[in-house]
Every structure is written in C-alpha cells, then in structure tokens.
Amino acid sequence: MAINLLSNEDKVFSQTVLQFAKKEIAPHVKAMDEKEMMCPEIIHKLFQMDLMGIEIPEKFGGAGGTFLQAILAIEALAQVDASVSVLVDVQNTLVENALIKWGSEYIKEKFLTSMVKGKVGSYCLTESHSGSDAFALKTLAKEVGDEFEVTGKKVFITNAIEAEVFLVFANVDPSLGYKGITALILEKGMPGFSLGRKESKLGIRASSTCELIFDRVRVPRSHVLGEIGKGYKIAIETLNEGRIGIAAQMLGLAQGAYSCAVEYARQREQFGKKILQFQGIQFQIAEMATRIEAAKLMVYNAAKRKDEGLSFVKEAAMAKHFVSDVAEYVSSQSLEIFGGYGFIKEYPIEKFFRDSKIGKIYEGTTNMQLQTIAKMVLE
C-alpha cells in the first residue's frame, strides 16, 4: 500500500471491521448463501458496531464519520461476504447519504435517528422498463391534498426484505418527463405497500432482491425528500456516490478471493512441492496483486475526493468500471489456482466468483460507466 494512503485512524478502523467480519460473519456465510437469507443476528451486530450509520452526524446518534470510512467498512466486509457488504453499502452510501444531504430537519430527526438504532434502508429506483434508462420510470405519485398517492412497481430492490425505510422515486407529472420525478420516503407497513417476488440469484444470494408493489399508498407531504420534481437530481448525485461503494465492495471481494488463493497455493502439493513454488502460479499471484493495488488507489482516491468536496463523478465511474473488472479477473484466476476444488462448494472460492459478476451490472452497468467516462474526458 502506498505511503500515507490511509491515516492510522482509518487503518485501525478498517482492521477492526475486518476482524469483526472474520469472527462474526464468516461462520454464517455458507449457510446464508444456501438459504438465500441474511442472518438477523448479523444485522443486529452491524448496528452494534455502528456500521449502519457511519456518516450520520452524532446529534442524530450516528458515528459522525467520513465517506472514506464508510468505503473502508464496505471493503472490509466484502473480504468475507459481499452480501453483508452490499447491505451496509446501500444503507450508508445511498439512503443515508441522500437523507443527510436533502432531508428536512423533520426527515433527519425521524429517519436518521431510527436508522442508527436498528432500521435498515432501501433505495428504490429500478423498474422493469427503466434499468439503465432510469428516468423512464412509470411509478406515479399523485397529489391528493396533503399527501401523495403512490402507485406502481419496482424491481431488483436490494434490502427489500430487511428494510423498514424505503427511498422511492416516482413521477408526480409524467408530462414533465424526468422533471416530474420526486423522491419520497415510504415505511414498511404503510397500507397498499407490499413485497412481490423475491429473486433467486447467481451471486450475493443472502442479499434480498425483491419486487415492491405500491397500490395507492398514501405518503405524507412531509416525506418528500428535497423538492418536488427534483428527484432526478437526487438519484443522479446519490448514485455517483454509490458507485464508489460498489467499487469498494468489488475491491474487498477481490482481496478475499486473492487471500484464499494464496493460502491454498501455500498448502497444495503437486509433483513433490507446493504449487506456490511454480513460476506459473507466482505470475498469476503477482498479476492479481498488481491489479488489486491499482484498484485500491482508484477507490480511495474517489472516496477522498468526495470527502474533500472535489469533483469525483469521473473517478467514481472509473473506479466502478475498473474494480469490477479486477474482481471478476481475480476471482476467476483464484478459482483456477484451486483447480477442480475451486469448482465445488466445499471451498469458498466459487462463491467469490459468483458474487463478482454483479459488480458490472448494478448501480450502473459497465457500458453506462464508460459512457460517463467518455463524456467527461472528451469535454
């Protein structure tokens, strides 16, 4: 790691989270993956560790930490389980960041304080007809007196089962196009609000991914985040931050896979010696280590730029694009080092490989990142 890349405080924080993950999460990873369900006790311990409100100001009960610290937590957790990592990622870099930046004092007092104490958040943008074209969403929010009546359906929503606070994007006036999009906060249990189908996925299987169904859900006007018609701005800016979170998740995943491969290469014998002694294996490990180091620099740089108030959109897109590639490459190479054992579920490496693929897809596909990068470097 480069000199002074992280402060001593940040290094200690990162190591503390990693130790917590190895002790408290690792024993449950295999079972959670097989059952496709997050262990409730783990979620409880995440709150106890103050990992579910890292940037929330202390006056609302949060840790009052930095965005970089949130990124370090996401990275450390992903070294053990990407599913737990993305739960923490969505909570911190998407939902809470949006509430901190655009929330009224009422919203901050009501929701940030509860999200520190035990309520999980969910970010609800994607619909069946609006994936990369996010602003083609069809969920409606009709004004009815002092309330909005929300009708529609969301798909591929992370944390859907565990969440109690939902940041939902809906259009108050489709004739205005994206300028009608408004961000509203819905709560679990509101009449007309229900969960639909739970998706069975290739990877991050313990992370819940579900449909959300809104059947004339009445939402108080006080639950509007920011201004009416400015939801598109909230969505864009929040996702720019969230992409650094996904990059951090993929960075941690790559490190977890790499560590498994090196440990296995130190133990596995063929032709009378440890396979780590073969030059071919050494070259594979050297290439993985190099790409991981480059990935760290990109992720930490993007996070630090965000903390320092500098532009970071290009850096966030580059980090998500590059580090997602690194995660897929490293997990694949690591699996090959395991040989046939890498292809069976007895060893953890096949899960790292399955989990890596989502990095190129959610919170903006690789092509969307390349589009952003191209636009900014060619301006």
Q: How far apart are CA 352 and CA 23, in angstroms?
A: 18
C-alpha separations of 81 from 86, 217, 252, 320 in Å: 9, 35, 9, 18
Q: Across-strand partners of 273?
A: 270
Catalytic residue selected from 9, 211, 363, 379: 363
Q: How far apart are CA 364 and CA 318, in angstroms?
A: 12
Q: Note whether 370 and 321 are within 8 A (CB).
A: yes
- Tokens representing 219 are 């939402």
Q: Are strands 120-124 and 163-171 parallel, antiparallel or unpaired?
A: parallel
The answer to whether 58 is a known catalytic residue is no
- Tokens representing 89 are 């990622």
Q: Note whether 342 and 336 are within 8 A (CB).
A: yes
Q: How far apart are CA 38 and CA 206, in angstroms?
A: 5
Q: Across-strand partners of 162?
A: none
End-to-end, the C-alpha distance of the chain in Å comes to 33
The residues carrying an active-site annotation are 363
